[in-house]
Amino acid sequence: MSSSQAATEAYLAALSGKVAIITGAASGIGKRLAETLSASNLKLLLIDINPAIAHLSAQLPNSAHLTIDLCLPNAFETCLARALDTFGTLDIIVNNAGIANECSLFSQENAQELTRILDLNLKAPMDATRVAVRYFRQAGRPGVVLNTASVGGLMPISLMESYGTTKAALIFFTASCKALAPHVRVNAVAPYFADTPLVANNRLVRSYPLVQQVGLMNPDNVVRTMVRALADQELAGDTLIVAMGAKPEKLTFYDDLTMHVTTYITKGTFNKYAASFNSYFSRALNSILGYLRNPLPVQDTNKND
């Protein structure tokens, strides 16, 4: 067994017995994650709009399912209630459901696809995180939220403006949740394009030069990284980027950017006040010099009226 396999087994052992909600679980990465976690004795509520989720749930022990559109109002409240009714508690939420645009935003006649992508890829996981954090706080128990992002949120890709924007925003949102730790850890994974129905059936992805050059990644690589993001207590507000043949790396982009922007603002503020001080000092100095050059006339007390 390799060191990476041993680490994955250790992470899975740490997760054993926990209760998890997985959205987008009927196929692709969500399905593989569900199968992996089920084999490690986790209790699962599998969420998908696809009725096929019932078939997967029937195959996995200690699992239940809910067929629901996550874009509907209060959808995740419904998911949480189902999990609590079924298992009595909740430890993990995996916001994995998502879609990609089929054509460029600028060739679409209306905002229907844009609205759907924004609602499912960004609004739904943000709202699920909100609901989950409130539950974990009220229940007084620790919890983990995992968001499925994409390298598409790190590399602007022509023709995939909507998809990439939602994934970039999801990475930003994850980073903004860092302060919730250690009580609630929110992490994300940003995988290279994996061989899943969502990717393989999308003509825009298939036509992307990098995909044509190196192909698609095995979804199992993504699942192993997701398991680490769920179990590694050192990760909070972090995004793990993963590609085939490469060791997953923690994205430090926002840490570096925050430092840069903070330095820039601080420097700008200092310069602003320095300029104000210099202006005040210059005015005072000019007044003093003006007085020395042109003193007030001294009254002659000996002058006769």
Region 157-186: what's the mean pLDDT?
94
pLDDT of residue 293: 55
pLDDT of residue 270: 59
Quick check: 252 pLDDT over 70?
yes
In this structure, of 104-113, 133-142, 274-283, the range with the lowest mean pLDDT score is 274-283
DSSP label at residue 167: H
- Over residues 105-132, the pLDDT tens digits come to 888 999 999 999 999 999 999 999 999 9
CA distance linking residue 171 with residue 238, whole number of Å? 8
Task: Go through 135-153 and write b for each residue having 16 or more CB atoms within 10 A of its CB, e for each that does not.
Answer: bbeeeeeebbbbbbbbbbb
In this structure, what are the phi and psi dihedrals at residue 132, rounded to the nearest 5 degrees? -65, -45
CB atoms closer than 10 angstroms to residue 163: 24
* Helices then strands, each counted (H, E), the chain: 12, 8
Percent of the chain with pLDDT strictly greater than 90? 64
- Of all residues in the chain, the percent with pLDDT exceeding 70 is 87
What confidence score (pLDDT) does residue 258 get? Answer: 81
How high is the pLDDT of residue 91?
98
pLDDT classification of 27: cutoffs 50, 70, 90:
very high
Q: Which residues contact 183 (CB under 8 A, 6 or more apart)?
A: 136, 137, 142, 143
Confidence (pTM): 0.85
Report the pLDDT value the prediction gives residue 303, as an integer from 0 to 100. Answer: 47
Distance of CA 75 to the CA centre of its chain: 20
